[in-house]
Amino acid sequence: MPDIDPSRLSLERKAALLSGQDFWSTRPVQDAGLPSVVLTDGPHGVRRQVGEFDHMGIYESLPSTCFPPAVAVGSSWDPEVAARIGAAVGREARALGVHVVLGPGVNIKRSPLCGRNFEYYSEDPLLSGHLGAAHVRGQQEQGVGASVKHFAVNNQETDRMRVSADVDERTLREIYLPAFEHIVTEAAPATVMAAYNKVNGVHAAQNRWLLTEVLRDEWGFTGAVVSDWGAVHDPVASVRAGLDLEMPGPSPENARRIVDAVRDGELDECVVDMAVRRIVALAGLAAEQPDETDGSPEFYGSPESYGSDELVGFDADAHHRLARELAAECAVLLRNEDNTLPLASARRIAVIGEFAATPRYQAGGSSHLNPARLDNALDAIRESAAAHGSTVEFAPGFTLDGSGDAVALREAAVAAARSSDVAVVFAGLAESAESEGFDRDDLCLPAVQVELIRAVAAEAARTVVVLSNGGIVSLEGWHDEVDAILEGFLLGQGGGGALADLLFGEANPSGRLAETIPLRLEDNPSFANFPGEHGHVRYGEGVMVGYRWYGTTGAPVRYPFGHGLSYTTFAVGDLAVASTGVDSARVSLTVTNTGARAGKHVVQVYVATEAGPVRRPARELRAFAKVRLAPGESRTIGFDLGRRAFAHYDVQDGGWAVAPGEYLVQIGENAAAVIAEAAVSLAGDAVAQELTLESTFGEWIAHPVIGATLLQELTAALPDDQGSQLGDRPELLQAVRDVPMKRVVGLVEGDALDRTLERLMERTRVVRRP
Ligand code: BGC
């Protein structure tokens, strides 16, 4: 670990350290033995550029394994999948001389239109946080730092470098920050990446509340805060807010501004020193990592050879097998009428759709990799079909760029479907349809594909649709006409093989939706407020994001959050819930594989309550586990639900609160289907709100400490005629419910009531909650 005392460096050298030496690395201090740290994208593979540099995935990068992107990992609902990807990315990073891989991305999928949803896990913060933490742990165990991004509230690409995400604090705390919080507190990432956008009017990269008060002071983050590439606008404000490293670099002009600010007394030098210390600490990753590249650029081969098989430093075949195995954990079987899948008994298979031959497996932008290997589903299906003694006929059905004779392509596909036992249509979005940098306008599949699916379904004995898309697509207009739908999202370079494994039953589907598929885009809760206007996007739906909204309003959806089928069946029983304290509970249940195949079930634990003073979503995911079971096997699973599983964020008190009351622990087949539930009563926080004369009459009456005695004392304090009226006319109490107590006092003669209230107020000044 380099040991550098900032006070021994000149202010100029320190300021220079606060931005990179180039596009992908930090500035070394050779005479002090401080190495340069190489940071690169991420997240589902290593995008190591050694020729020309960019952050939009334009220029070539060295070959590396393209693992399933976050959209797929989210659907695996399996932290082990995330951890194994993190570990493999870490191994490749070491081999490629990288010290920090930029990821995972854990922003919430607020709108299905967000162009980067493929890079994010879920619409739910708990699922995102657990998967993100597992990825970080896996990667960092290899000695390679992570950069959790994009902190925070970066939920759209439209106007992404300027837009202000205007969000109330409860929504921030309950929806947009918890994934970051969980990862920071549980997995200690080496860095956090500050987002491009503003949060409530202040750029994330110069937002002191976010970068210092919340991230460091509350969550205890000790790593370095890195800017997103080009996110720094005012370097002095950024450093003051808690940003340590501006990327990319170098930024001599910004270094000069920092020096001037210190000299002019606008910026305390010790703030600069703190940032330098964190960058020095980060350099520990480089100091501890032996340079497996020998420091020689030739080690990587020439840019011309990137696409070839001249791979270095990691076992590309083993990682490819891993990519295929993990991809099979991620796909979601949405529909499977009459057990159309697996295909084992189909003798003649028509494979239709260009995506079978030209896989769609990753998306555009900074995460775009140069895959070391690449499967396509068609070859893998041919291989499996041969093993099953089946035949395969392929028809592209459409072209990806819209060229060619659409009618002729469709007719050829329909002819193939007609002479098959089953038609498998590979549909989806072309890479040009979604990417970092822009949002989509709708959820539609290209019309030519919808027409193809319908035409095939009308003629084929059975129709299976396999989807490849980074953001969800609408299934309307064709859903009911097909027998099975396998949603692959983007599965990485092993996706083609994984899809064949799933179609033939070599692997049993176990993915679950990490986001809702609505019937209409208009049903999405962010619809009226996305992507905003005049530089602001208002998060008007508050905490009612995704399934929280659909569950609360009861609006029908096509497939709910958490939905996914299997080739086997599961039963859940013996649900027991018991409180383990005033604000915690233990849940246990038994899961049984009641079918004939081994498979994995995702146990989803939701909590529903009306306790407390805030409007709660109908139910919220509070724990989950993916369990593998052999046919007939049963297992008892336990969950400890801590305080946060029951808490809401109390903006008045500025903290988490557990309201006393009843909480339903619900086991969901998905977010819309509760299969077992049990109630638990929690004493919650003993602390009650402190009353003042600004508190309403209703708040006084409802107060757990003095509420019960208030009426008695009030009646006693009032002149006789007023006192008796209170008892006889309950509507009087109702009418003054929302009136501040100081106004009620004004209605009463004399000062007896003032004295009573003074005394009662004193009794409400009690201990705060934990
Ligand atoms: C993206 C980041 C990425 C960075 C470096 C930015 O455009 O928002 O996610 O890590 O570029 O490529």
* DSSP one-letter string for 720-753: HHHHHHHHH-HHHHHHTTTSBHHHHHHHS-SSHH
**pLDDT value, residue 558:** 98
Of 469, 490, 515, which closes a domain?
515
Atom of ligand 1 nearest to the CA of 102: 10
pLDDT, position 306 = 42
60 CA distance to ligand 1 middle (Å): 16
Q: Which atom of ligand 1 approaches the CA of 248 most closely?
A: 5
Q: Which burial class, exposed, middle or buried, applies to 716 when counting CB atoms under 10 A from its CB (0-12, 13-18, 19+)? A: exposed
Q: What distance in angstroms lies between residue 54's CA and the mean position of ligand 1's atoms?
A: 9
Q: Which residues contact 515 (CB under 8 A, 6 or more apart)?
A: 74, 109, 112, 117, 122, 123, 472, 546, 561
Distance 56 CA to ligand 1 centre (A): 7
Q: Which of 52, 55, 163 to mutate to test the pocket of ligand 1 (most atoms within 8 A of CB)?
A: 55
Highest mean pLDDT among 37-51, 504-518, 674-688: 504-518
Secondary structure of 456-472 as H, E, C letters: HHHHCCCEEEEEECCCC
- Position 398 scores a pLDDT of 98
Quick one: 247 and 382 in the same domain?
no
Taking 70 as the threshold, does the pLDDT of residue 768 lie above it?
Answer: no
| pLDDT value of position 769 | 57
CATH at residue 178: 3.20.20.300
Q: Which residues pair with 40 in a beta bridge?
A: 101
Residue 305 has pLDDT above 60, yes or no: no
Q: State how far the Cα of 356 lies from the Cα of 456, in Å rounded to an integer.
A: 16
Q: Are residues 103 and 221 in the same domain?
A: yes
The yes-or-no answer on residue 523 being catalytic is no
540 located within any domain = no
| Closest residue to atom 6 of ligand 1, CA basis | 229
- Return the pLDDT at 310: 47
pLDDT per position as a tens digit, 143-153: 999 999 999 99
Confidence class of residue 229 from pLDDT cuts 50, 70 and 90?
very high
536: in domain: no
The rounded mean pLDDT for the chain is: 93
Residues within 6 Å of ligand 1 by CB: 41-42, 55, 102, 149, 228-229, 366
- Residue 535 inside a domain? The answer is no
Residue 312's pLDDT band, with cuts at 50, 70 and 90, is low
- Say how many Å lie between the CA of residue 150 and the centre of ligand 1: 9
154 and 70 inside one domain: yes
Instruction: State in Å: Cα 194 to ligand 1 middle.
Output: 10
User: Which candidate, 90, 107, 109, 83, places its Cα nearest to that of 42?
Assistant: 90
In the chain, % of residues over pLDDT 90: 82
Q: How confident is the model at residue 294 (pLDDT cuts 50, 70, 90)?
A: very low
Instruction: Look at residue 307 and tell me whether its pLDDT is greater than 70.
Output: no
Residue 149 falls within a domain, yes or no? yes
Percent of the chain with pLDDT over 70: 96
Could you tell which of 23, 38, 41, 247 is best to mutate to test the pocket of ligand 1, judged by most ligand atoms within 8 Å of the CB? 41
Distance 228 CA to ligand 1 centre (A): 6
Q: Of the residues 647, 682, 717, which one is the last residue of a structural domain?
A: 682
When pLDDT is cut at 50, 70 and 90, the band that residue 686 belongs to is confident
Which of 229, 232, 369 for mutating ligand 1's site (highest number of atoms within 8 Å of CB)?
Answer: 229
Of the candidates 257, 260, 189, 195, which has an alpha carbon nearest to the alpha carbon of residue 219?
189
Strand 332-336 with 39-41, pairing: unpaired
| Mean pLDDT, residues 204-221 | 98
Distance between CA atoms of 647 and 657, rounded to whole angstroms? 5
Q: Which atom of ligand 1 is nearest to the CA of 54?
A: 12
Instruction: Tell me, yes or no, whether 30 and 124 share the same domain.
Output: yes
The residue among 703 and 203 whose pLDDT is bigger is 203
Express each pLDDT in 402-448 by its tens digit.
Answer: 999 999 999 999 999 999 999 999 999 999 999 999 999 999 999 99
User: How many A from CA of 366 to the centre of ligand 1?
Assistant: 5
Q: What is the CA angle 264-265-271, rounded to 5? A: 120
* Residues 54, 397: Cα–Cα separation, whole Å: 35
The atom of ligand 1 lying closest to the CA of 149 is 9
Q: Residue 671 belongs to a domain with what CATH number?
A: 2.60.40.10
In 3D space, the residue among 391, 394, 390, 393 whose CA is nearest the CA of residue 344 turns out to be 390
Mean pLDDT of the 268-283 span: 97
Do 124 and 273 lie in a common domain? yes
How far are the Cα atoms of 12, 240, 243, 251 from residue 151, in angstroms, in the given order?
29, 17, 12, 22
Residue 26 pLDDT > 90, yes or no? yes
CA 558, CA 550: separation in Å to the nearest integer? 11
Nearest atom, ligand 1, residue 196 CA: 8
Q: Of residues 228, 439, 483, 650, which has the active-site annotation?
A: 228
Taking the C-alpha atoms of residue 185 and residue 747, their distance in angstroms, rounded to an integer, is: 52
pLDDT digits (tens, 9 = 90+) for 469-525: 999 999 999 999 999 999 999 999 999 999 999 999 999 999 999 999 999 999 999
* Domain total in the chain: 4
Decide if 643 is inside a domain.
yes
Residue nearest to atom 12 of ligand 1 (CA): 55
Residue 331 alpha carbon to ligand 1 centre in Å: 26
**Residues 15, 148 within the same domain:** yes
**Judgement on whether residues 466 and 608 belong to the same structural domain of the protein:** no
Question: How do residues 63-121 score in pLDDT, each as one tens digit?
Answer: 999 999 999 999 999 999 999 999 999 999 999 999 999 999 999 999 999 999 999 99
Rounded Cα distance, 144 and 98, in Å:
8
Give the Cβ contact number of residue 56 at 10 Å. 13
Q: How distant is the alpha carbon of residue 439 from its chain centre?
A: 17
Q: How far is the CA of 667 from the centre of ligand 1 (A)?
A: 38
Residues 652, 655, 657: CA angle, nearest 5 degrees: 90
Ligand 1: which of 228, 245, 367, 369 to mutate, most ligand atoms within 8 Å of CB? 228
What would the mean pLDDT of 517-539 be, rounded to a whole number? 98
Q: Which atom of ligand 1 is nearest to the CA of 41?
A: 10
Report the pLDDT value the prediction gives residue 300, as an integer from 0 to 100.
Answer: 46
> What per-residue confidence (pLDDT) applies to 732?
81
Residue closest by Cα to atom 8 of ligand 1 = 228
- pLDDT of 743 > 60? The answer is yes
Query: What CA–CA distance (Å, rounded) separates 53 from 60?
Result: 8
Ligand 1 mean position, distance from CA 318 (Å): 28
Q: Which among 323, 336, 326 is positioned nearest to 373, based on CA atoms?
A: 323
Calculate ∠ Cα 218-223-228, nearest 5°.
100
Distance from the alpha carbon of residue 74 to the mean position of ligand 1, in angstroms: 20
State which amino acid sits at residue 370.
Answer: N
Residue 48 — left, alpha, or beta (φ > 0 → left; ψ -120 to 50 → alpha)?
beta
Same-domain pairing of 331 and 215: no
Q: Cα separation of 4 and 8, whole Å?
A: 8
Residue 155 pLDDT grade (very low, low, confident, very high; cuts 50, 70, 90): very high
Residue 42 alpha carbon, nearest atom of ligand 1: 10
Question: Which residues have a Cβ under 8 Å from the Cβ of 139 and sit 6 or more positions away?
Answer: 86, 87, 89, 90, 93, 101, 145, 146
Residue 42 shares a structural domain with residue 86 = yes
Does residue 687 or residue 282 have the better pLDDT?
282
In a domain, 688, yes or no: no
Identify the CATH number of the domain in which residue 355 sits. Answer: 3.40.50.1700
User: For the residues 16-39, what does the mean pLDDT come to?
Assistant: 95
pLDDT of res. 755: 85
Which atom of ligand 1 sits closest to the CA of residue 47? 12
- φ, ψ dihedrals at 559, nearest 5°: -140, 130
Q: Report the pLDDT value the prediction gives residue 766, as an integer from 0 to 100.
A: 55
Confidence band of 687 (pLDDT split at 50, 70, 90): low
Mean pLDDT of 676-692: 89
364 & 511 share domain: yes
Residues 6+ apart with CB under 8 A from 191: 39, 100, 145, 146, 147, 148, 223, 224, 225, 226, 245, 282
Evaluate if residue 720 carries a pLDDT over 80: no
Say whether both 360 and 245 belong to one domain: no
CB 674 within 8 A of CB 618: no
Domain-embedded: residue 304: no
Q: Domain range holding 655?
A: 570-682
Of 356-365, 485-494, 536-545, 699-708, minimum mean pLDDT range: 699-708
Nearest to 40 by CA among 117, 93, 106: 93
Asked, for residue 53, whether it belongs to a domain, the answer is yes
Q: Point out the domain boundary residue: 486, 515, 544.
A: 515
Interval between CA 61 and ligand 1 midpoint (Å): 15
Cα separation, 85 vs 107, in Å, equals 19
Considering only CA atoms, which residue is closest to atom 5 of ligand 1? 55
Looking at the structure, do residues 457 and 586 belong to the same domain, yes or no? no
Residue 301 confidence (pLDDT)? 44
291 vs 97, 102, 303, 659, CA distance in Å? 7, 20, 21, 54
* Protein residue whose Cα sits closest to atom 7 of ligand 1: 55
Whether the Cβ atoms of residue 512 and residue 127 lie closer than 8 Å to each other: no
User: Which ligand 1 atom is the nearest neighbour of the CA of 154?
Assistant: 8
- Beta pairing class for 463-468 and 422-428: parallel
**DSSP structural state of residue 216:** I
